[in-house]
Structure 1
Amino acid sequence: MANSPQAKKRARQNERRNAVNKARRSRIRTELRKVEEAIASGNQEAAAAALKAAQPELMRGVTKGVFHKNTAARKMSRLSSRVKSLG
């Protein structure tokens, strides 16, 4: 348990950051799930639109430190190739 004032403050900051990061990760996963559902339905226009909406959300997660840059790039690459193959 945190004893020093600095450690107590750090614990409070970590709780807040954890909540923010959890919300951001959840929002990104929701966007990715929408792309997956559009791909599963076979509608290329809907899948492309969902992918276009998911990309900035995923990249924002990278800049905020929720995801690694290569992880986001890999996800985007795989999703975009799957959307392309629908056509």
Structure 2
Amino acid sequence: MYFCNEYMAVNSPNGTRLNTFPDFIVTADYETGRPISTAELKEGAEVYLLGSKWTNMLLGLGVRYRAPYKRLEDALGIEMIKYLDGLFID
């Protein structure tokens, strides 16, 4: 899981990309089901990892421009843009 204030990407154990922001990505406590923020997540915690593709949600225009994703790719050292076919309006 990669995050920068929010979850940005989730890969499977074999490296396959499962979700990429602006997909819905959330962790929830295994016992209570309550959401856990990135700040609350602790190593070794048992959690559910839930995700849904961006195509299932209504998105604001602000997440549909390519430039911020390029900066995130550079900062996180991961690819994002190639996983977001059809998102961008520029």
TM-score bracket relative to the smaller structure: 0.3 to 0.5
Select the structure that is richer in strand: 2
- Which structure has the greater CA radius of gyration? 1
TM-score of the pair, normalised by structure 2: 0.33
TM-score of the pair, normalised by structure 1: 0.34
